[in-house]
């Protein structure tokens, strides 16, 4: 009986140490309330702006949106958010690749003649995290 109790106690303790976090992204400076805001969460430099680890969307109220990701393992991440004004499920771009719709990245990182560098947009999730991102108007 004592061994069973110790085994159960160890199992419970190990569950607490493996607990994942919640990431909440608050997006401001949206120019209108049409469409939705989509956030793409990237978990590696290799996948940055290519293949999101997770993707989530939210409606816009009073030119603000809040997007929450749950069950996020501790680690290094980047986020890209965009205002999908026509609600077609993608970031619309011009032929040359520039976004037609407003877009922003974590840390409010800005790029020069392109997207921000990974090291400017990266952040660490080690517990429940809240991030504020200011939307940049499309060109």
How does pLDDT run across 95-139, given as a tens digit for each residue? 988 899 999 999 999 988 889 999 999 999 999 999 999 997 755
Give the 3-state secondary structure of residue 16: helix
How does pLDDT run across 49-80, given as a tens digit for each residue? 999 999 999 999 999 999 999 999 999 999 99
In the numeric block, the tokens 């991440």 are attached to: 77
Tell me the whole-structure pTM to 2 decimals.
0.85
For the chain, the structural domain boundaries read: 20-134
Task: Say yes or no: domain 20-134 is CATH 1.10.10.
Answer: no
Residue 72: HSE in the Cβ half-sphere, 13 Å Cα cutoff: 27
| Non-local CB neighbours of 25 within 8 Å, separated by 6+ positions | 39, 66, 67, 68, 69, 79, 81, 130, 131, 132, 133
């Amino acid at each position: 009986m004592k061994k069973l109790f110790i085994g159960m106690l160890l199992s419970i303790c190990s569950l607490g140490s493996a607990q994942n976090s919640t990431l909440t992204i608050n997006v401001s400076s949206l120019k209108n309330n049409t469409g939705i805001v989509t956030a793409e969460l990237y978990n590696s430099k290799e996948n940055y702006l290519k293949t999101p680890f997770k993707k989530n969307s939210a409606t816009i109220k009073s030119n603000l949106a809040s997007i929450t990701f749950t069950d996020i393992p501790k680690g290094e991440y980047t986020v890209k958010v965009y205002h999908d004004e026509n609600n077609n499920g993608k970031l619309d771009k011009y032929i040359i690749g520039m976004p037609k719709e407003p877009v922003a990245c974590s840390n409010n990182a800005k790029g020069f003649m392109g997207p921000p560098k990974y090291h400017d947009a990266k952040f660490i999730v080690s517990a429940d995290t809240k991030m504020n991102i200011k939307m940049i108007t499309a060109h």
